[in-house]
């Protein structure tokens, strides 16, 4: 008998799951229906800032596979503008509100919840005024693009200094707008150590952006329904356009209401295979919580690369194979104009919260041999466990060619490598690519040198 | 009583050893004398191609520390143009031919042999003609530079298609010369698999170089003592200038003659601490052989990054500390104009020689998200053990931003990671830095998919 797989969400996680399941099971064996509430599916949400900046010229460029490809070539019944509003575990069905507004019950044998994330919206007066833009969906991006092109705003305020906030600040700078970034916390990039975050702040100022840190937004002024300014306790910043980059939280409400277990992070809890607490129900992507391999605690990290891997694992498992998602170590990278920022593992504060006592070391170096043209300054910071010397975290701020080095550090953290052992690593060297001691090795070496006395203490 | 440390060779390995020893032991405790036969010390030999190309404008830019810094600030007695011609282990002394031609006996308590490598010179008629240039030392580089500037040659022939040959081909192309590369083997970059080597050959041709493969050079024609052409079995190529890039072998003659053990690679044999077979004699750099962690065989690899690490270990050990060099996995990277080439671990052929049966997978991908401006094509090849899935080697050929990814692969090889486990790695992702599946992950994933059936066989 044909089984029926229902997938809620037509983006990275959901469609990876659907594609992998289809690869392993034919249409007679498995019917696959995907419900996507938006007008677009299978697009790169991470590409939206570059659509807004103009570096990507067509929204279609962000679409990995067009809807008809799923229908025609993969026998995946992808239905756009179809919002699942209820999961009924007892009856093994979901309730779907279709384009025409009608509510329909759709049965499933297996269910994949890939409902993504909910962007944080400030609960503030004026937050829904015209000219206030979120940038979570492709529709959001297109709307912002239209506002930029039709209304020709001059002053943009970006609220929130995380990855999205920084990428949107870059986009607005590239568009030639006056940009002010307002961040409630003491630094942009709260996922970096304060000293590294300060470098990002300096870099942003150097690019011509105004930054106000430690200033929660209290109100958005508006006139005739259009935003005119952003007010904090300290100032009022005029704005023709406001972009919200306040981060996201897992969109797990639907699952929770159905009685599916949700973890302390607000993300749906799964096992290694991405099975939820409910029989035959899987979850993947921004709506789940995963395991941090260094802190050993649950975390919810919205990132396309995790969503793809998790969705793929779900699809393989539904397809009769065996695949698992091992967890994360918090690797991330971000570009703001010519600056590159990357991190992996734990920050100093995160390490402390996880019970580690740490030694940190920052080194100034260059991306290439100092004498080679185009050698760029970069700062590499490593955080090591004081007792064992184990690398716990690393951060990089620099210019072109700096950030991707975080991957070598990520693999070292993955293997619980000590900074002392790292100094022997056979990393690539030639003058156009690195100094003879790669910044990664220098940072590890300096940390190892600092640890040596501590390690020989009784 | 003051001990006397003699170091033979004033480059990366020798001066790293001297500096580290000094850091840990003062002048009353340790006298340090370094004999360097050339006119320059402490320079980046790897930078010579970029001096020749004109990208580095001043030979002094390649000098890390000027000789007087060693003498004045570090109490290291660095003597240039002083060639050690004999090591006398019994009398604990070396014989040094000084600038004035006189031979002097210099006693030592501890000795560091850091004699570097000998460039391969073809034993051919005409090989010593004017216009034939090696590029091993800074003096070689300066001589070539002068020849380029004073004689304005039009046609350059580069003999040898390894790293140095490729870098010199780039330098000659940048100088606007007609460049022909002649390689005796079937491909340039013999340290790559043939399919990857072929990509390098195509790239070189695309850059305007002529390439002749599988053609050993038989003779260098000359007129009035100056080179005029290079002859192979198949052709005669006119040349105003010939650059030899034929690789090197360990310069271990001095050590061998003294009775110090030399391994099967021709390099001086050492233990993990870089001790030779002779009491109180250490060795480091291009003159030693080291251990390949994947093939588990001795190898001699001339590379500045190993020389620095080994020299540092020697200096720490002489200084009373404990440091070891763990061995290598053959990581290397090279740039030829806009192309980047990298490798780590074993090639398919090297793996076969070491007794592995392998599965290989090559993937075409891009350095950034496909829609992001400046996304460059790159090919990533991985080689895995058929029995265990362990990653044995990896190679990358691509354009800007491709090659440094080899480091993440190198750390994975270092930890004997399987390609299946690699697919879960938390590598950095954002559209300006990688597709949502980094090429490293795609390659590992494809190899894991191919291995799966094999792994479940009885």
Query: Known catalytic residues of A?
Result: 46
pLDDT tens for B142-159 read: 999 999 999 999 999 999
Are the Cβ atoms of A305 and B437 closer than 8 angstroms?
A: yes
Instruction: Using CA coordinates, name the residue in chain B closest to A403.
Output: B433
Residue A366's contacts (CB-CB under 8 Å, 6 or more residues apart) are A375, A376, A377, A378, A435, A439
Q: Output the pLDDT for position B458.
A: 38
Question: Is B305 in contact with A427 (Cβ distance < 8 A)?
Answer: yes
The verdict on B410 touching A (C-beta cutoff 8 Å) is: yes
Q: Which of A325, A375, A410, A411 to mutate to test the interface with B (most CBs of B within 10 A)?
A: A411
Residue bearing tokens 């509003």:
A85
Q: Do A428 and B407 touch (CB under 8 A)?
A: yes
Confidence of residue A458 (pLDDT cuts 50, 70, 90): very low
Beta strands, E only, A279-356: 281-283, 290-291, 298-299, 332-336, 339-345
In whole angstroms, give the CA distance from residue A57 to residue A66: 17
- The secondary element (H helix, E strand) that includes residue B94 is strand B93-97
Strands A332-336 and B290-291: unpaired
Smallest CA–CA distance, residue A204 to chain B, in Å, is: 18
Cβ of residue B330 closer than 8 Å to a chain A Cβ:
yes
The pLDDT-based confidence of B453 (bands split at 50, 70, 90) is low
Q: Convert the pLDDT of each residue in A279-306 to its tens digit.
A: 999 999 999 999 999 999 999 999 999 9
Contacts of B332 in chain A (CB under 8 A): 428-430
User: Taking the C-alpha atoms of A375, A379, A382 and A383 in order, what is their torsion angle to the nearest 10 degrees?
Assistant: -170
CB-based contact A55 B372, cutoff 8 Å: yes
The dihedrals phi and psi of B64, each to the nearest 5 degrees, come to: -70, -50
- If you average pLDDT over residues A162-170, what whole number do you get? 96
Q: Side-chain half-sphere of A412: how many Cα atoms within 13 Å?
A: 30
Among B331, B369, B426, whose Cβ lies nearest the Cβ of A328? B426
Rounded to 5°, angle at Cα B261 from B289 and B329: 15
B332: closest chain A residue by CA: A428
Give the minimum alpha-carbon distance from B21 to chain A in angstroms, rounded to a whole number: 15
A contacts of B55 (beta carbons < 8 Å): 372-373
Tell me which chain B residues have a C-beta less than 8 angstroms from the C-beta of A406. Answer: 428
Q: What angle do CA B277, B282, B283 make, to 5 degrees?
A: 100
pLDDT above 70 for B222: yes
| pLDDT for position A1 | 83
Mean pLDDT of chain B: 96
What does the DSSP 8-state code read for residue B47? G
d(CA A239, CA A132): 10
Q: Per-residue pLDDT tens for B20-44?
A: 999 999 999 999 999 999 999 999 9
Question: Hey, is A97 helix, strand or coil?
Answer: strand
Query: Two tokens at B115?
Result: 């004699």
CB B263 within 8 A of CB B276: no
Q: How far is A396 from chain B, CA to nearest CA, in Å?
A: 12
Query: Is the pLDDT confidence value at B225 over 60?
Result: yes
Say yes or no: A430 contacts chain B, CB-CB below 8 A.
yes
Chain A residues in contact with B163 by the CB 8 A cut-off are 430
Residues of B in contact with A438 (CB under 8 A): 305, 407
pLDDT at position A100: 84
User: For residue A254, how many C-alpha atoms fall within 13 Å in the half-sphere facing its CB?
Assistant: 26
**CB distance from A328 to chain B under 8 Å?**
yes
Whether residue A457 has pLDDT greater than 60 = no
Q: How far is CA B219 from CA A219, B184, B222, B227, B426, in A?
A: 83, 13, 9, 10, 54
- Give me the residue label for tokens 């105003």: B240
Distance CA B421, CA B442 (A): 12
Q: Do A333 and B430 touch (CB under 8 A)?
A: yes
Q: How far is CA A74 from CA A5, A35, A67, B257, in A?
A: 14, 16, 10, 71
Question: Which positions of B are annotated as active-site residues?
Answer: 46
pLDDT at residue A368 is higher than 80:
yes
Which chain A residue has its CA at the smallest distance from B440's CA?
A407
Domains annotated on chain A, with CATH: 3-40+63-117+249-318 (3.50.50.60), 121-246 (3.50.50.60), 332-456 (3.50.50.60)
The stretch B259-276 carries a mean pLDDT of 98
Q: How many residues does chain A have?
A: 458
**What distance in Å separates residue A125's CA from the closest CA in chain B?**
33
The Cα–Cα gap between A158 and A215 comes to 13
User: Least CA distance to B434: which residue of chain A?
Assistant: A404
Rounded Cα distance between A49 and A65, Å, is 20
B394-426 pLDDT, tens digit each = 999 999 999 999 999 999 999 999 999 999 999
Chain A positions in Cβ-Cβ contact with residue B326 (cut-off 8 Å): 421, 424
Measured between beta carbons, the chain B residues lying within 8 angstroms of A61 are: 371
Contact residues, chain A, for B15 at CB < 8 Å = none
CA distance linking residue A10 with residue A362, whole number of Å: 42
User: DSSP letter at A278?
Assistant: S
Pairwise CB contact (< 8 Å): B44 & A436 = yes
Residues of chain B contacting residue A421, judged by C-beta atoms under 8 Å apart: 326
User: Using CB atoms, which residue from B324, B410, B421 is nearest to A428?
Assistant: B410
Residue A52 sits at the chain B interface (C-beta within 8 Å): no
Instruction: Let me know if A388 is exposed, middle or buried by CB neighbors in 10 A (0-12, 13-18, 19+).
Output: middle
Measured CA to CA, the distance from residue B310 to residue B312 in angstroms comes to: 5
Q: Locate the chain A residue with the closest alpha carbon to B421.
A: A326
Contact residues on chain B for A428, CB-CB shorter than 8 A: 331-333, 342, 344, 403-404, 406-407, 410
* Distance to chain B for A400, nearest Cα, Å: 9
Pairing mode, if any, of strands B132-133 and B241-244?
parallel
Distance from A50 to chain B by nearest Cα, in Å?
8
Q: CA A166, A171, A175 angle in degrees (round to 5)?
A: 145
Mutate to test the interface with B, among A426, A435, A444 (most CBs of B within 10 A): A426
pLDDT at A72 over 90: yes
- Tokens 């996201």, residue? A248
Q: How far apart are CA B266 and CA B260, in angstroms?
A: 12
Q: Given an 8 Å threshold on Cβ–Cβ distance, is A424 in contact with B333?
A: no
Q: What pLDDT score was predicted for residue B456?
A: 40
Judge whether B347 is closer than 8 Å to chain A, CB to CB. no
Whether residue B455 has pLDDT greater than 70: no
User: Span B190-208, mean pLDDT?
Assistant: 96
Query: Do B282 and B310 form a contact (C-beta atoms < 8 A)?
Result: no
Q: pLDDT digits over B122-139, tens only?
A: 788 899 999 999 999 999
Does B332 sit within 8 Å of A47, measured CB to CB?
Answer: no
Please state the rounded mean pLDDT for residues B351-378: 97
Question: d(Cα A125, Cα A138) in Å, to the nearest integer?
Answer: 26
pLDDT at residue A353 greater than cutoff 70: yes
Predicted confidence at residue A244, as pLDDT, reads 95
List CB contacts of B283: < 8 A, sequence separation 6 or more. Answer: B112, B113, B114, B255, B260, B268, B270, B274, B276, B314
CA pair distance B455, B355, nearest whole angstrom = 18
Smallest Cβ–Cβ distance between B404 and the set A306, A373, A428 belongs to: A428
Contact A45, A136 (CB under 8 A): yes
CB B268 within 8 A of CB B250: yes
CB A287 within 8 Å of CB A267:
yes
d(CA A345, CA A356): 13
* pLDDT, position A120: 87
Residue of A nearest to B272 (CA): A424
Residue of chain A whose Cα is closest to the Cα of B328:
A426
- Flag if B429 and A401 touch (Cβ within 8 Å): no
Residue B304 touches chain A, beta carbons under 8 Å: yes
Q: Do B425 and A410 touch (CB under 8 A)?
A: yes
Of the partner residues B306, B404, B411, the one whose CB lies closest to the CB of residue A411: B411
**Per-residue model confidence as pLDDT tens digits over B310-319:** 999 999 999 9
pLDDT tens, residue by residue, A32-55: 999 999 999 999 999 999 999 999
B433 touches chain A (CB under 8 A): yes
């Amino acid at each position: 008998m044909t089984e029926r797989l229902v997938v809620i969400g037509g983006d990275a996680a959901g469609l990876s799951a659907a594609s992998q399941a289809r690869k392993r099971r034919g249409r007679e064996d498995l019917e696959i229906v995907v419900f996507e509430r938006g007008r677009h599916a299978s697009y790169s949400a991470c590409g939206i800032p570059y659509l807004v900046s103009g570096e990507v010229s067509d929204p279609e460029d962000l679409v990995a596979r067009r809807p008809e490809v799923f229908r025609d070539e993969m026998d995946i019944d992808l239905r756009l503008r179809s919002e699942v509003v209820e999961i009924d575990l007892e009856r093994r069905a979901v309730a779907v509100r279709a384009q025409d507004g009608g509510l329909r019950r759709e049965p499933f044998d297996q269910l994949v919840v890939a409902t993504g994330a909910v962007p944080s919206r400030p609960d503030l007066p004026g937050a829904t005024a015209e000219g206030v833009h979120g940038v979570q969906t492709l529709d959001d991006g297109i709307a912002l693009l239209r506002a930029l092109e039709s209304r020709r705003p001059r002053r943009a305020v970006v609220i929130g200094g995380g990855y999205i906030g920084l990428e949107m600040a870059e986009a607005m700078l590239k568009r030639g707008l006056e940009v002010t970034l307002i961040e409630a916390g003491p630094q942009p990039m709260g996922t970096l150590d304060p000293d590294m975050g300060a470098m990002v702040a300096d870099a942003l100022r150097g690019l011509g952006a105004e930054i106000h840190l430690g200033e929660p937004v209290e109100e958005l002024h508006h006139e005739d329904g259009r935003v005119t300014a952003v007010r904090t306790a300290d100032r009022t910043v005029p704005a023709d356009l406001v972009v919200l980059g306040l981060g996201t939280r897992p969109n797990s409400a639907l699952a929770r209401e159905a009685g599916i277990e949700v973890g302390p992070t607000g993300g749906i809890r799964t096992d290694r295979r991405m099975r939820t607490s409910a029989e035959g129900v899987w979850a993947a992507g921004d709506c789940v919580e995963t395991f941090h391999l260094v802190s050993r605690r649950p975390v919810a990290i919205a990132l396309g690369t995790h969503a793809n891997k998790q969705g793929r694992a779900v699809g393989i498992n539904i397809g009769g194979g065996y695949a698992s998602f091992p967890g994360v170590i918090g690797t991330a990278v971000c570009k703001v104009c010519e600056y590159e920022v990357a991190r992996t593992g734990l920050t100093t504060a995160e390490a402390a919260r996880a019970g580690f006592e740490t030694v940190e070391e920052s080194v100034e170096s260059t991306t290439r041999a100092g004498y080679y043209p185009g050698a760029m300054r970069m700062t590499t910071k490593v955080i090591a466990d004081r007792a064992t010397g184990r690398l716990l975290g690393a951060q990089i701020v620099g210019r072109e060619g700096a950030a991707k080095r975080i991957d070598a550090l990520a693999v070292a953290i993955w293997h619980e490598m000590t900074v002392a052992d790292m100094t022997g690593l056979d990393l690539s060297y030639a003058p156009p690519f690195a100094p003879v001691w790669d910044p990664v090795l220098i940072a590890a070496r300096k940390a190892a040198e600092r640890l040596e006395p501590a390690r020989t203490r009784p």
